[in-house]
Amino acid sequence: MQKNKKPVPALADLRNLINDIDNRLIESINDRLLLAKEIGAIKAENGSHVLDLARENEIIKRLTALNKGPLPANALETIIKEIFAASREIQNPQKVTFLGPEATYTHIAAMKFFGRSTSFYPQPTIREIFNEVEKGTYNYGVVPVENSIEGSVNYTLDLFSDTDLKICGEKYQNISHDLLSKSGSMDDIRAVYSHPQAFAQCRIWLQKNLPDAELLDCSSTAYAAEKVSAMSEAAAIASNEAAQIYKLKVVASKIEDSSRNTTRFLIIGKNNTRSTGNDKTSLMFVASHVPGSLYRVLRPIAEKGINMVKLESRPAKNENWEYIFFVDIKGHMEDPGVKETVDKVRGLCMYLKWLGSYPMEDL
């Protein structure tokens, strides 16, 4: 005996149901933006900053816990971040500057952190990003600080000595390289343009697939893509985003030799970020030039049981054989244990500067 089969809805019926959901979605999003506009007016009266990472993180965490699928968590976060970006734009448009031109990995990291609805402005150098944010031309800047393969971006670290800007956030961006050209054909390629780091990260692939091609350095992968967009027998190693912006075709994708290539970017600005419960604090200090001084400076961190996640040294610019140390620890300066420990460390070194406490991104 055959069981009664459940009737299958017609395609038109399913689409009508989707239309109804879309109608409710757009109405709810616009209602949310109107409420955000009211909040923006209150923030303006109180002199509060538009960007509130602690509040945004709370919302993402709550909605992620509510999400039962099939929507993936990363897709949910992307959607919510775009709504945040639209909310900030309706409150008070935020201007963010980055190491350009468009489609650099810094630009991609900035868009993922702030959302694509934000207004982005390229700068030719990291120093100019610091200068323009310090002058108030832009609300925030995005700068690279370290790469999992190549190590620290020392120039970024050095600039923290000369600024009062704070680190407001961080973004880890996976670096994946594509080979791009106008024709999309490997046979047409006589020269390849890219940044020296990109060449280093794709060395094995290039030797195997384009051993006779001339490799020509550019100031950035994005500039390489822009240059190649006007050439017929050249290719660029750049991001997939660059292919879209500069109207290039992907000859080969993911040509990097290591899949574990990640760059950490810092968000710099003038405001402090409230504690989220999962934060990182960055400090820079100068220890006395005597045996055991570094050990004595770091001992309070260990004794308090605070996790130190990074320690880096750089030569001091104004004194030979003196070093500036950069340290990242878990926790926020609003946490009593962290503040007490940092105060102890301050008393044990020649100079200490708090660079900021901000939400720690989980890798």
- Provide the residue type at 108 as one letter: I
- Provide the residue type at 285 as one letter: F
Length, in residues, of the chain: 363
Specify the 3-state DSSP secondary structure of 326. strand
Please check the confidence at residue 2 and state whether its pLDDT lies above 80.
Answer: no
Contact, 202 vs 220, CB < 8 A?
Answer: no
What was the pLDDT predicted at 362? 79
Return d(Cα 11, Cα 151) in angstroms, integer. Answer: 54
- Residue % of the chain over a pLDDT of 70: 96
Return d(Cα 49, Cα 44) in angstroms, integer. Answer: 8
**Which residue from 188, 150, 147, 173 is spatially nearest to 239, judged by alpha carbons?**
173
* Helices 73-91 + 105-114 axis angle, to 10: 80
Domain extents in the chain: 23-90, 94-175+262-268, 178-252, 272-359
The mean predicted confidence, pLDDT, of the chain is 92
Place of tokens 């046979």: 187
Six token digits for residue 302:
């260990």
pLDDT band per the 50, 70, 90 thresholds, residue 330: very high
DSSP symbols for 261-324? -EEEEEEEESS-----SSEEEEEEEE--SSTTHHHHHHHHHHHTTPPEEEEEEEE-TTSTT-EE
pTM: 0.87
What was the pLDDT predicted at 322? 77
Dihedral over Cα of 20, 22, 23, 25: its sign: positive
Return d(Cα 174, Cα 356) in angstroms, integer. Answer: 24
Q: What is the mean pLDDT of residues 174-199?
A: 93
- Neighbouring C-beta atoms of residue 311, cutoff 10 Å: 13
Cis, peptide link before residue 144, omega less than 30° from 0: no
Six token digits for residue 18:
């989707």
Place of tokens 């140390």: 325
Six token digits for residue 208:
């195997």
**Which residue from 33, 149, 170 is spatially nearest to 91, judged by alpha carbons?**
33
Superfamily of domain 272-359: ACT domain (3.30.70.260)
Half-sphere exposure of 215 (CA within 13 A, CB side): 19
pLDDT tens digits for range 132-180: 999 999 999 999 999 887 778 888 999 998 899 999 999 999 999 999 9
- Residue % of the chain over a pLDDT of 90: 80
Q: Given this chain, do its domains 23-90 and 94-175+262-268 carry the same CATH topology?
A: no
Six token digits for residue 276:
């989220």
CA 125 to chain centre: 17
CATH 1.20.810.10 assigned to domain 23-90? The reply is no
Dihedral over Cα of 200, 204, 210, 211: its sign: positive
Six token digits for residue 105:
């990995």
Correct CATH for 94-175+262-268 of 3.20.20.70, 3.40.50.970, 3.40.640.10, 3.40.190.10: 3.40.190.10
**Which residue from 199, 208, 192 is spatially nearest to 177, judged by alpha carbons?**
199
Contact, 238 vs 176, CB < 8 A?
Answer: no
- Neighbouring C-beta atoms of residue 160, cutoff 10 Å: 23
Please check the confidence at residue 55 and state whether its pLDDT lies above 70.
Answer: yes
What was the pLDDT predicted at 318? 66
What was the pLDDT predicted at 108? 94
Please check the confidence at residue 320 and state whether its pLDDT lies above 70.
Answer: no
What was the pLDDT predicted at 259? 81
Please check the confidence at residue 48 and state whether its pLDDT lies above 90.
Answer: no
Return d(Cα 139, Cα 276) in angstroms, integer. Answer: 21
CA angle (281, 111, 40) in 5-degree steps = 75
pLDDT tens digits for range 243-291: 999 999 999 999 999 888 899 999 999 999 999 999 999 999 998 878 8
CATH 1.10.10.10 assigned to domain 178-252? The reply is no
